[in-house]
Amino acid sequence: MSALAHGRGRLFVAFLVVLASMALMFTVPKTDFIAAAFVSTGTMALAAYYVTGFKGLFRPSVKTMAIGLLSAGVLYAIFYAGNQGISQIHPLGISQSSESPIYALIASPANPLYVQVAILAFDAVGYETFFRGLLQKRLQPKAGLGSVFLIALVDAGIHVITLNPLWVVTTFIADAVWGLTYFYSKDMTSNVTSHFVWDLFIFVLLPIK
């Protein structure tokens, strides 16, 4: 078997395992969501490491950290504006009530703050290393800028399992912003910083409801 075929085989196995873990995360009882989320996001990070070894993904610097913070701020502003629009327009029947189930899964009073922060850290590392550091990076040489939106569509498509249209739409938007962040920074440090900081503000510090 050629090295190329072997690499594609590892990628296929990694994708199937992550897909199964995400399906589990989105279908378990709400009381088990946090545990399932740790398993799924941890699986994403391990799958990315299995294929890439994280080689060349992280090159931390002041610049990449700043790009991550800027990206998080832009994405927060987009979601703030979007929330205002939803409250006024209700596109496709989507209302602010669709946000409640998402917040309840992570920011529930039943989850101690340290648990919330830990799962958000796993979320940032897992999603970014797998969807951007692995999938988007592999697709970029052939698809260029289009890889950003193709991978965003893949992740949003998986979120259809939640049966929450708002979660699907917001996943695509967030993934597109993080995809662009990685496309231009070429450093996973920017993405993990952006994702984690955004998560903290959205779910803990300044929730948009």
Range of the domain at 162: 3-205
Task: Pick the more confident residue, 16 or 109.
Answer: 16
The tens digit of pLDDT for each residue in 17-44 reads: 999 999 999 999 999 999 999 999 999 9
Mean pLDDT confidence for 88-103: 58
pLDDT at 3 over 80: no
Least confident window among 60-64, 108-112, 183-187: 108-112
**pLDDT tier at 97 (50, 70, 90 boundaries)?**
very low
**Count of domains in the chain?**
1
73-80 long-range Cβ contacts below 8 angstroms, 24+ apart: 74/177, 75/173, 75/174, 75/177, 75/178, 75/194, 75/198, 76/198, 76/201, 76/202, 76/206, 76/208, 78/173, 78/177, 79/170, 79/173, 79/202, 79/208, 80/208
Q: Across the chain, what does the average pLDDT equal?
A: 90
What's the whole-model pTM score? 0.92
Distances (CA, A) of 67 to 74, 117, 202: 10, 22, 19
pLDDT at position 7 over 90: no
Q: How confident is the model at residue 92 (pLDDT cuts 50, 70, 90)?
A: low
